[in-house]
Amino acid sequence: MVNEAMKLAENLFNNDVKMTPTRDGYGEALVELGESNPNVVVLSGDLTESTRTEGFKHKFPDRFYEMGICEQNMVGVACGLSMVGKIPFVATYAAFVPGRAFDQIRISAGYNRSNVKLSGAHAGISVGPDGATHQMMEDIALMRTLPGMTVIAPCDREETRKATIEAANLEGPVYLRFGRDKVPEVTTKETPFKIGKANILMDGSDVAIIANGPLVYEALDAAKTLRRNGVYCMVVNMHTVKPLDVTTLVYAARKCGAVITAEEHQITGGLGGAVAETLARNNPVPQEFIGMPDSYGESGKPRELMEKYGMSSTAIIEAVKKVIARKASGRIFAGVL
């Protein structure tokens, strides 16, 4: 199960960590796709610069559509374009798509199996000063319930670039999620990426940390600290929430006997829920959840908010201690012997 991704991640902490926004990879990929596929079109909800679609707009103005602050209509137009052979990328904030346009996504995109690529930018609490209204923490829960919807939460700029390109080559509706703030670059051009195939970034046998988005780096940071204290964590980058990589997940659970999920999303219904559902059917083990604790966010600096709401490497370390204690006592579910 060990792959090239783990070899590359091992060098992460031996060099200066480069910080870039994941959305930069999205913009880069759109230009690449525009050059290679004339059917790729982009629709923006009056957020061209923020969503990094400006590069595509300048290079392919005849394939770029500024839809204004009309997100429901934008999804409908995108679905119409897909019916005539186009591959439309819808770009706005996650608070608006899926937030404001869920009905159109459910029926026009999901029910009709439209070949649309929905991009939710500025997701998670790390939007920071924008506050609770724009800190979309429920989008993965919404999107993964839709039949046939692929859901991807890349961990850094390069992985977002690869995910965007792969999404264009996948027939059917896709939801791509990325944030606003700069995050450490965990992957490189050489790191393998395949939709639905998780990457093991660090090996271990005590606890498996299943993470995605910016929490992948936090998981690696926590695992590095714990390793110095004799606790060996496996770190799995589960970038695709749906379809979930059941094979890798079950392998990790069986090898480690305990798992932690870590995501920049509500604990309810996101990656943690998907992992728990899968393990309940295949290999139940003690599980702890890192994510937003059933709360709305607030305005603040991204790092301060991540610390306050328990989505940092420090919180992961505490969760590892807790789940190891449960593992040692033989408990599978909290409060049950």
Question: What's the start-to-end Cα distance of the chain, in Å?
Answer: 32
71 as an active site residue: the answer is: yes
Report whether 287 contacts 323 (CB < 8 A).
Answer: yes
Quickly list DSSP for 156-198. Answer: SHHHHHHHHHHHHHSSS-EEEE--SSEEE----TTS--BTTB-
Report whether 252 contacts 234 (CB < 8 A).
Answer: yes
Report whether 202 contacts 232 (CB < 8 A).
Answer: no
Amino acid at 242: K
Q: How far apart are CA 196 and CA 273, in angstroms?
A: 17
Amino acid at 124: G
Amino acid at 50: S
Q: How far apart are CA 213 and CA 270, in angstroms?
A: 12
Q: How far apart are CA 302 and CA 297, in angstroms?
A: 11
User: How many other C-beta atoms are found inside a 10 Å radius of the C-beta of residue 111?
Assistant: 13
Q: What is the torsional sign of CA 163, 169, 174, 180? A: positive
- Considering 10, 35, 49, 71, which one is annotated as catalytic? 71
What residues are labeled active site? Answer: 71
